[in-house]
Every structure is written in C-alpha cells, then in structure tokens.
Chain A
Amino acid sequence: MTKYTDTGKKDTRSGFGEGLLRAAKDDDRIVALTADLTSSVKMGAFAREFPNRFFQCGIAEANMIGVAAGLARTGKVAFCGSFAEFITGRVYDQVRMMVAYGNANVKLASSHAGISLGEDGATHQTMEDIALMRALPGMTVIAPCDYNQTVGATLAAARYDGPVYLRFGRPAVPNFTNPDEPFEIGKVYVMNPGKDVTIAAYGHLVWEAVLAAEALEAQGISAEVLNVATIKPLDVAALKASVSKTGAIVVAEEHNAAGGLGEAIAFALAGQAPMEFINGGDRFGKSGTPAELLKLYGMDSGHIVAAALKVLSKKQA
C-alpha cells in the first residue's frame, strides 16, 4: 500500500494563508475581509502585502458577508475569513441570500472547524457547518486534509467563479500530501488503493484513515482510502467505482451525523453496500486537546479500524 510520511505538523489554516497570498500575487481582483480574526485565520501576510485590498470589518460578521457580496459584484474575488461557526451559523441568512442566491464570487474561508478546535469548547466547535453549506443551492463545499492540500484548494477556490465554502482547522496536524499535486474541485483523491473496504474521509480525518488502513493491512485487510476533499459537488462516480470494488464503506468525518458527508454518500449509494459511519452523532463539542477529543468523540484511527471490521462483518453476513 501507499506509505505516507508526515513531513512535519502544520495547521491547515496556515495553508489557507499561504494559498491566499500566492493567489493574490497573481490576481489583483482578490480581496480579503475578516471580522477581528486576522492572525487566527492567517490573513496577516496578505494584509501586510496588500493593505489596500484588505478590509477589517470588526466583530460584525453579517456586515462582512454583505460587503464581500458587494465587492464581488464589482468583479472582485472576495475571501471572508472567520471561525467556521461564525461564518456559517451566525450569518446563515446573509450567506444564503447575498452569496448563494446572489451567486456572488465570495469565498467563505472557514477556520477552526470541527471538534479538533479543542480547548475553546462547544460554542466555537461547529459540527453542523457542512450540513448548513451543503443545503444551499450552488454552494461548493471543500474541506482539504492537510497544509499542502489547503494551499492548493485555496488556489483552486480563487480561480473558480462562484460561491465556495472552504473549511480548514486550527491544530497542527500531519502534512503528508504531495505539494505539487494541483487541487481539482469536485475530485475524490484515492490516497491508497485497496480491495476489501473503502474508507471515505475529509479534513483532519484523512490522516486518521491512512493510519487505520496501515493497521488494517497488518491484519491482512486491504483498505482503499478516499480523500473526499470536495463534499459538494460530490464525485459520486468515484465513490461508486470504489464501493463496487470493495463492497463496503466507512465514512469518517469531523462533523455531526445530520447533513454530513455520511448522509450524502448514503443518499448517493443507497442500498449498494453495507456502510458504517464515524461522526459526532447528535452532540455538541467539549473542551480538551484535539487528540483527546478525536478519541472521545470516536473519530480517531482506532475507531475507524473498528468501524471497518464491523462493516466487513456485515459484508460477509
């Protein structure tokens, strides 16, 4: 199987900051806005390099979304950066009308997503954001898995004409994908070909899925790991191709069950294969370290291995 090496832990939000800076150097249409979270969402370098194209909005996210939609109307590519909860749930109606219904070229740069935000606790740890954004007609939903892929996804979002929700996180996590591989919106990345079971994941859980596949291999089980970096539009053909080969699938995500990738895949592959789901269920988050929380919420590699064994037993039944 493919062996991945962690080239050094990095936060995916820094991948966004790097991608934004690179994109902006080549495209003067790009502007950036934040609501008092410049350094948290890694917009500092952009702000220093392009002060005229950076707009501090203060702690007023609703206004930020409207200003971004207006800037986009004049031909700008507007990146809005905030925490995942505050750029989705807090401003859902603004995003719905001005960005999605208005088909504005606005990119929602969503940092600190999921349980792995850690110590801040449930008010900041959204596990509903994918559901909210998936529900909006015309919204593209992307959640890259590591620093390198977040750089690429940011560059791709900048080139794409239309609303994008780009989800990334706070903690430093393994950086293991090829930095030279261009990011393609709508593509499922086969991290590790396998024949016995498919493990589909996005974001921080792709690394956990890779670790799970290594553990399963030690037990003689060949797992195919899919990095579903674009959740909408979903690459249903790639999922079907994998599952028609393996006959079983585990979907792992740092998100609650309602409206997540698990539901999207269950809808797309209804009845085609036994499925198991790794997610937050129907719960709010809690304070703790990211690693402890992934374990507590049943999202780490050990839980993925258990889910794979369970779905394999269903396949054989």
Chain B
Amino acid sequence: MVSSATCGHPGGSLSSTDILTALYFAVMEHSPSEWKTTAEGQDAFVLSAGHLAPVYYSVLARSGYFPVSELGTLRKTGSRLQGHPSVADGLPGILLPSGSLGQGVSAAAGIALGKRLSGDPHKVYCLCGDGESEEGQIWEAGMFAAHHKIDNLIAFTDVNGFQIDGATESVTALADLREKWLSFGWEVIEADGHDFASILNAFKLAGSANGKPKMILFHTHMGQGVDFMTDRCEWHGKAPDARQCQDALSQLEETLGDY
C-alpha cells in the first residue's frame, strides 16, 4: 500500500500490525454491518497515532468495513483512504480524525464517558505511539481519565523505541513509561507486541471494571518482519520502492497482495 502510494509510514504500521490484528479479529466486540458513527452498541477504537493509517485501513478492510480492493487507493486523489484517517470522506469504521498527534486518548476518554452516560457497557480502545507520548495532551488525558475513573478505556502504546529523528531515548527521553502511567493512576500492563498469546492475555487482563483506566505497553520493533526496516527510524515515514517492496513481501510468511 505504502509503496504504491510512494509515501506513508511503514515503520510504525508494521510494529503495530500484530496488535491491531489481535484487537480486530479476537478482542473487540464489533460488527461492520451494524457499525454506526456514534459507536453505539459496539466496542470502539480510536487511532491516536494517525500515521499508522496503512495498518488501520488494512484491518478495517479485512474485517469487512469496506472492500479490500480499496486498499490500493491509499493516499490517491479521490480516495476515501486519506493519508491520515478522516471522517469527512465516508470511510466506514472510522470514528474520529487523527494525524495531529496526542489527541486520541482524550477523544477515546470522551467516547468512553458517552458510553457510560448512555448505559452502553462496551469498551473503548485507543492506540498511541511511544514518540507520540511526548505530547503534553497525552498526560492531560491521563490525569482526566484517572480522575473520572474511566475504566472502560483501554489505551495501548506501541513502544517501538523510535520516532522520526531517532531513538525515543535520544530525541527526548520518555524514561519509564510504566512508572509514569502508574503514577497517573492507571492500571499498567506490559506485553510482547509480536506474540499473539502475550497480546491476547494483555487485553484480557485489561478488561476488568476496577475504576481505573488501562494502559498496555506493547514492546515492539519498528518495521517488524522486514530485515532492512527493523528498528531503523528512517523507515518511520518513507515508502519502499518497488524492489524494496518485493524484498519486504518475500520476507513475510504470509502476504496478502490481493488488492
């Protein structure tokens, strides 16, 4: 998809692929055919790190929200698959726009509060990046969700350790994310974001109604599954060329180049 679009963000998409695959196919209660823009009667998902649009669109299409054939239109003029997620273009499955970082946890907290007010027992999931956690609004949302005891909010961070300018710890150290979220009053769970048993167990542990919002720290690798992209920040936002794309696809056990 990203290669065809000649621009986009493969690195973070690959590090969060296993997590979103597990979420959409084994964790969330959702039905594409009954999906509403109000998120009513289903679990909801908010992508805070909007540049992970390629993997987001992939799981939505594979879940049946829109035709898989549309994935090839990513970032092209006239496409519903905008460079970053949009609600203005009529793509089913998307609740909120994202792309400007740091805003998704706040919005997911709002959806979770709305569900609480409406007596809808479903959960709200939200994916952030670790680099994104440098945004102050993430921590505003952290205080807010704990204060209002929003325990139907399950946020998770793709801790791949890289952002555009380099390793997160060299750009502006995040230090101990676990300690930070614990001190904000959240329940914190850590898991291997490339091990399905670990991912599923983490989401299971995060399901309790204990008065606390949940943060799962998924430890991952940027560019997972492709040797020349793995743990290399230059693949945060660069498209592979045709040869690199073929090379990358040949390294994966199963590829779905059917669009």
Contacts and interface: CB of A to CB of B under 8 A. Distances in A.
Interface of A: 31, 52-53, 55, 57-58, 60, 62-76, 78, 93-94, 96-98, 101-103
Contacts of B88: 101, 103
Interface string B7-45: 000000000000000000000000000000111100000
A99 to B, nearest CB: 10
Contact of B117 (A52, A58, A97, A101): A52
Given A67-B107, A67-B141, 15 more contacts: A53-B117, A60-B143, A62-B103, A66-B105, A66-B137, A70-B111, A71-B114, A74-B110, A74-B114, A74-B120, A75-B114, A93-B100, A94-B100, A98-B97, A103-B87
Contacts of B67: none
A55 B148 contact: yes
A97 B158 CA distance: 23
Main secondary structure on A side of the interface with B: helix
Given A60-B144, A94-B103, A97-B103, A70 B117 contact: no
Contacts of A103: 87-88
Most A C-beta atoms less than 10 A away, residue of B37, B103, B111, B115: B103
B40 A66 contact: no
B107 A66 contact: yes
Interface in B28-67: 37-40, 46
Contacts of B144: 57-58, 60, 63, 67
B241 interface: no
Contacts, number: 116
Given A55-B113, A71-B113, A62 B106 contact: yes
Contacts of A74: 38-40, 110-111, 114-115, 117-118, 120
B207 interface: no
Interface in B80-119: 86-88, 95-100, 102-115, 117-118
Given A52-B117, A60-B143, A66-B137, A98 B103 contact: yes
Contacts of A52: 117
Contact of B106 (A63, A72, A78, A93): A63
Contacts of B141: 63, 66-67
Nearest to A63: B140
Given A63-B137, A73-B37, A98-B103, A68 B110 contact: yes
8 contacts: A60-B143, A62-B102, A62-B106, A63-B141, A66-B141, A74-B120, A78-B110, A97-B98
A62 to B, nearest CB: 4
Contacts of B99: 97
Nearest to B144: A63
Nearest to A65: B106
A1 B141 CA distance: 54
A69 B96 contact: yes
B137 A31 contact: no
A64 B86 CA distance: 21
Contacts of A63: 106, 109, 137, 140-141, 143-144
Contacts of A58: 140, 143-144, 147
A57 B106 CA distance: 11
B103 A66 contact: yes
B103 A76 contact: no
Nearest to B84: A97
Nearest to A137: B88
A67 B113 CA distance: 8
A97 B97 contact: yes
A65 to B, nearest CB: 7
Contacts of B147: 58
Give the most central of B46, B104, B110, B112: most A CB within 10 Å: B110
A27 to B, nearest CB: 13
B153 to A, nearest CB: 10
A184 to B, nearest CB: 27
Contacts of A62: 102-103, 106, 136-137, 140
A24 to B, nearest CB: 13
A64 B103 CA distance: 10
Contact of A73 (B103, B107, B143): B107
B136 to A, nearest CB: 7
B39 A73 contact: yes
Contacts of B113: 55, 67, 70-71
B103 A67 contact: no
B106 A70 contact: yes
| Shortest Cβ-Cβ A-B pairs, 8 listed | A70-B110, A66-B106, A74-B114, A63-B140, A60-B140, A67-B110, A70-B107, A70-B111
